[in-house]
Amino acid sequence: MNGPILVTGAGGQLGAALCEEFRDADVVPLSRADWDVTQVPPANLAGAGLVLHTAAWTDVDGAEAEPQEAAAVNVGGTQHAAELGAPLVVFSTDYVFDGSKREPYVESDGPAPLSVYGRTKLLAEAASGDDAWVVRTSWLFGWTGTNFVQTMLRLGAERDEVTVVDDQRGCPTYAGHLAAAVWELVELPQGVWHLAADGDCTWAEFAEAIFEEAGLDCRVRRVTSEQLGRPAARPAYSVLRSERPGAPTLPHWRDGLRACFDRLGV
């Protein structure tokens, strides 16, 4: 590719993983301070060889209260990334589905988001244009930023018991493994791709695995989504798999958890 690789949202967990994965290339990390993607791209970003667009509004519940702000980042930000005119990879979510299916979602399944967040990510997919790679992934976690793994490690060290929903099933995906798959992806045709960890579990099962791997003596009290009462609805089942030939495959989510713990020194 001709020109540098721009990584938006470089301060986030996926952005950091991509910057590390592509470190031997000409990578330009762009934090929000470098470019607020709700604004048009600065002139000095012209001539990129590839744009890896990870900057996003990721507060699922917060989007219910601030839908315009979420759309400005997710939809407007993707439009602005596309305006750079370079090959573009955008990252979407399993939350574009409603969870009514009980077998893995593939690329040809019709989206039906339940939340403001899911709707803004679906609109962002459209805003990326026909020539972008759209990566739908699931339950992302990494060694930086705020995510479920980091939260459970903190709570597990502070408490004897945590309350976690047990009626949502997905694929916890390690940011490092997803970033590595992007190398393969950009050699494949554009369009929608499902890239998520092998295996699946509920949030409660994921929490138990975190405590087990970390050696934390903390119980998980399993509850329903209704009992937890979060503002945004989540799909009950959002396991992602690819039906596209040559799709990159990711390791099992437990392997991702161990790799993350290695980075965290747990």
Active site residues: 117
Asked if 224 contacts 166 with a C-beta cutoff of 8 angstroms, the reply is yes
Assigned token pair, 30: 């762009």
Strand residues in 81-235 grouped as ranges (E)? 88-93, 133-137, 140-141, 161-165, 169-170, 173-174, 191-194, 201-202, 219-223
Strand residues in the chain grouped as ranges (E)? 5-8, 27-30, 50-53, 88-93, 133-137, 140-141, 161-165, 169-170, 173-174, 191-194, 201-202, 219-223
DSSP state of 132: S
